[in-house]
């Protein structure tokens, strides 16, 4: 995996680049649609590729480990073949889901012992085993097991969890490098900077992880209930410490209006369930603001959802039809709404990328900030 830095904004931290993977090039800044169970809910891979032109999607290690199982996916040729997705895949470590979904977690230096939220069976995730699961899936970008804390956390608790995360990252990285040599695979593993909402811990964590000289770095432990200004502040503290010539990935953010703020702070990659989850709930992001499709005002509205959007939903259907599908509980609604919301996010990232390449990102950022002030 190789990162090519193409342009940097002279006034902000924004960057445009290209990540070369075994499954194609990822143009950055990039938003990654979330395909938890090896499926972006409601959207066919054909549409992710042809309609949305997504370069990379995210899949969840925890869920795929439990069902259908990574060994089965390995047997069937890996996740790309299993789900028929020819482009890049990033898998998380499963840590976040172990801490948020599973039961009876027991953390030790060895790893996390947990019970499956599906059938209650006990499993142990170790730094090495989660790498092995992700290698079996054949993902292009892997994440090491980390300890995820709730918000708020004490400084002492956050310090302890961060130190453990660093030790686990070192073990995961060693195992990863050894397995890479054995298998000749070309994947990358991004260590995760933790430290809860404490700038000093974030700094310590970053400086420890830099010694791994990894192909890219992630910033984790955000979007766990803290004020949004704090998530941005923690990002701003961390990105300048990370190597300029490696991609930086902030996990689990954000709202559409926040994406430019992360990009302005030097973030190259993001993912969030928000566009797809909101879509299924009838909350649609448009160039004129949020549309809550169930509202009666759309009942006889023959206009497209967003006249400025080129997605198949906006090209083909009216707000009235979308509202009808939503009210009737039709499956097609989720598909059309998810395609639109993802297109909205991906187009926004492409616009930012263009603005950075053309040296106009500062103007772009001022513009979105001004329109946010006007609409609030
Ligand atoms: Zn659209």
pLDDT in tens, 217-231: 999 999 999 999 999
Is the pLDDT at 244 greater than 90, yes or no?
A: yes
State the pLDDT confidence band at 159, using cuts at 50, 70 and 90. Answer: very high
Quick one: pLDDT at residue 86?
98
Please report the pLDDT score of residue 46 as a whole number: 98
* Tens-digit pLDDT profile for residues 356-366: 999 999 999 99
pLDDT at 374: 78
- Output the CA 336–ligand 1 centroid distance in Å: 8
pTM (two decimals): 0.98
Report percent pLDDT > 90 for the chain.
94
Instruction: Specify the pLDDT at position 363.
Output: 98
Whether residue 185 contacts residue 218, with contact meaning beta carbons closer than 8 Å, is answered with: no
User: What value does the mean pLDDT of the chain take?
Assistant: 97
Q: Is 145 or 104 the better-scoring residue by pLDDT?
A: 145
Residues with CB under 5 A from ligand 1 (ion): 309, 311, 313-314, 340
What one-character-per-residue DSSP string does 294-333 give?
TSGGGTT--SBS-TT--SHHHHH-BHHHHHHHHHTT-HHH
Flag whether pLDDT at 246 surpasses 90: yes
Per-position DSSP letters for 3-41, written without gaps between them:
EEEEEE-SSSS-EEEEEEETTEEEEESEEE-B-TTSS-T
The rounded Å distance from CA 16 to ligand 1 centre is 25
What is the reported pLDDT for 198?
98
Confidence of residue 347 (pLDDT cuts 50, 70, 90): very high
Query: Tell me, what's the pLDDT at 102?
Result: 81
Distance 341 CA to ligand 1 centre (A): 7
Residue holding tokens 């900030």? 369
Q: What is the pLDDT of residues 293-341, one digit of tens each?
A: 999 999 999 999 999 999 999 999 999 999 999 999 999 999 999 999 9
Cα of 317 vs centre of ligand 1, distance in Å, is: 10
Residue 365 C-alpha to ligand 1 middle, in angstroms? 22
Residues 120-141 have a mean pLDDT of 97
Mean pLDDT on 251-279: 97
Task: Say how many Å lie between the CA of residue 278 and the centre of ligand 1.
Answer: 14
The pLDDT of residue 376 is above 70: no
Confidence of residue 375 (pLDDT cuts 50, 70, 90): confident
Give the pLDDT score at 7. Answer: 98
Distance in Å, CA 313 to ligand 1 centroid: 5
What is the pLDDT averaged over residues 100-125?
A: 92
- Which distant-in-sequence residues (6+ apart) come within 8 Å of 259 by Cβ? 31, 253, 270, 345, 348, 349, 352
ω before 68 within 30° of 0 (cis)? yes
- Residue 104 above 90 pLDDT? no
Look at the alpha carbons of 222, 225, 226, 229 in this order and tell me if their dihedral is positive or negative.
positive
pLDDT tens, position by position, 55-67: 999 999 999 999 9
Distance CA(142)–CA(32), nearest Å, equals: 14
Say how many Å lie between the CA of residue 287 and the centre of ligand 1.
10
Q: Are 325 and 336 in contact (CB under 8 A)?
A: yes
Task: Encode 12-26: b = buried (16+ Cβ within 10 Å), e = exposed.
Answer: bbbbbbbbebebeeb
Closest residue by Cα to residue 265 from 290, 229, 297: 229
Q: Cα of 7 to ligand 1 centre, how many Å?
A: 29
The residues that are catalytic are 92, 271
Confidence at residue 286, expressed as pLDDT on a 0 to 100 scale: 98
Taking the centre of ligand 1 as the mean of its atom positions, its distance from the CA of residue 311, in whole angstroms, is 4
């Amino acid at each position: 995996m190789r990162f090519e830095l193409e342009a940097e904004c002279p006034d902000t931290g924004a960057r445009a680049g290209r990540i070369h993977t075994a499954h194609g090039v990822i143009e950055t800044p990039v938003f990654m649609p979330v395909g938890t169970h090896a499926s972006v809910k409601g959207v066919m891979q054909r549409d992710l590729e042809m309609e949305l032109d997504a370069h990379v999607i995210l899949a969840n290690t925890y869920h795929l480990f439990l069902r259908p199982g990574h060994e089965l996916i390995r047997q069937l040729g890996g996740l790309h073949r299993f789900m028929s997705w020819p482009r890049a895949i990033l898998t998380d470590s499963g840590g976040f889901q172990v801490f948020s979904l599973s039961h009876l977690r027991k953390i030790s230096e060895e790893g996390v012992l947990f019970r499956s939220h599906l059938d209650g069976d006990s499993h142990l995730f170790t730094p090495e085993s989660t790498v092995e699961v992700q290698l079996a899936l054949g993902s292009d970008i892997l994440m090491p097991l980390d300890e995820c804390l709730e918000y708020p956390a004490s400084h002492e608790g956050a310090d302890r969890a961060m130190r453990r995360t660093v030790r686990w990252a070192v073990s995961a990285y060693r195992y990863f490098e050894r397995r890479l040599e054995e298998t000749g695979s070309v994947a990358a593993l991004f260590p995760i900077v933790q430290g809860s909402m404490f700038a000093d811990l974030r700094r310590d964590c970053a400086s420890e992880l830099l010694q791994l000289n990894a192909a890219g770095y992630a910033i984790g432990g955000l979007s766990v209930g803290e004020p949004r200004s704090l998530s941005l502040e923690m990002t701003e503290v961390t990105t300048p410490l990370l190597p300029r010539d490696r991609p930086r990935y902030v996990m689990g953010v954000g709202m559409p209006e926040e994406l430019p703020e992360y990009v302005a702070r030097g973030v190259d990659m993001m993912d969030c369930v928000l566009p797809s989850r909101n879509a299924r709930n009838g909350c649609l992001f448009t160039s004129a603001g949020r549309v809550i499709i169930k509202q009666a005002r759309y009942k006889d509205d023959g206009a497209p959802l967003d006249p400025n959007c080129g997605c198949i939903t906006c090209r083909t259907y009216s707000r009235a039809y979308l509202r009808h599908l939503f009210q009737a509980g039709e499956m097609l609604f989720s598909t059309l709404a998810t395609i639109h919301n993802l297109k909205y996010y991906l187009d926004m990232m492409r616009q930012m990328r263009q603005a950075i390449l053309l040296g106009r990102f500062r103007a772009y950022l001022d513009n979105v900030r001004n329109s946010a002030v006007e609409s609030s």
